[in-house]
């Protein structure tokens, strides 16, 4: 079941992000702060959190409206617990995000990820879901770690 994220999900979602092994401790702390701010109403940006719930949260997605754009959203986070990966949950969650953003009038969804070899499967996932690589910023995250930006049009004007 995919549903809106609630404050009660915070501990399970931090544990989920940690289980993926893709977040350093500082990233987990930032995620905790983002969840706390957004779900506590302390954020001044338009955000959208959803959770894939299978009796416990097993997936999460988080989008922000890009400021100073015409309905462009950025998928800041999508993660499925490693025990539940390979079941189509990530694609289903991403489709849910896209549909929900279209209902909100979202025009475009951007996704940013790392160019490191460990992220090849993640980049292939976005391509499989209909995203096109739009940009690559060399050495963005660190020397040798590019930022790769994917794009998908949701509502053409």
- Domain coordinates of the chain in residue numbers? 2-153
What three-state secondary structure class fits 48? strand
Residue 14 structure tokens: 């931090």
Q: Give tens-digit pLDDT for 8-66.
A: 898 999 999 999 888 888 889 998 888 888 887 766 567 778 888 888 899 999 999 99
- Model pLDDT for residues 53-107, shown as the tens digit of each residue: 888 899 999 999 998 999 999 998 899 999 999 999 999 999 999 999 999 999 9
Q: At what angle do helices 10-20 and 25-39 cross, to 10 degrees?
A: 150
What kind of fold does domain 2-153 have according to CATH? Aminopeptidase (3.40.630)
Q: Which two tokens stand for residue 30?
A: 């930032």
């Amino acid at each position: 079941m995919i549903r809106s994220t609630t404050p009660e999900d915070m501990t399970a979602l931090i544990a989920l992000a940690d289980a993926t092994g893709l977040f350093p401790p500082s990233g987990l702390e930032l995620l905790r702060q983002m969840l706390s701010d957004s779900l506590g109403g302390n954020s001044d940006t338009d955000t959208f959190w959803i959770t894939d719930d299978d009796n416990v949260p097993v997936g999460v997605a988080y989008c922000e409206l890009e400021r100073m754009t015409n309905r462009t959203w950025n998928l800041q986070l999508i993660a499925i617990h490693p025990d539940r990966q390979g079941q189509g949950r990530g694609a289903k969650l991403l489709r849910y995000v896209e549909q929900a953003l279209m209902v909100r009038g979202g025009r475009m969804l951007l996704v940013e990820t790392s160019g490191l070899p460990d992220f090849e499967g993640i980049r292939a996932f976005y391509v499989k879901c209909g995203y096109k690589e739009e940009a690559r910023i060399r050495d963005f995250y660190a020397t040798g770690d590019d930022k790769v930006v994917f794009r998908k049009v949701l509502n053409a004007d």
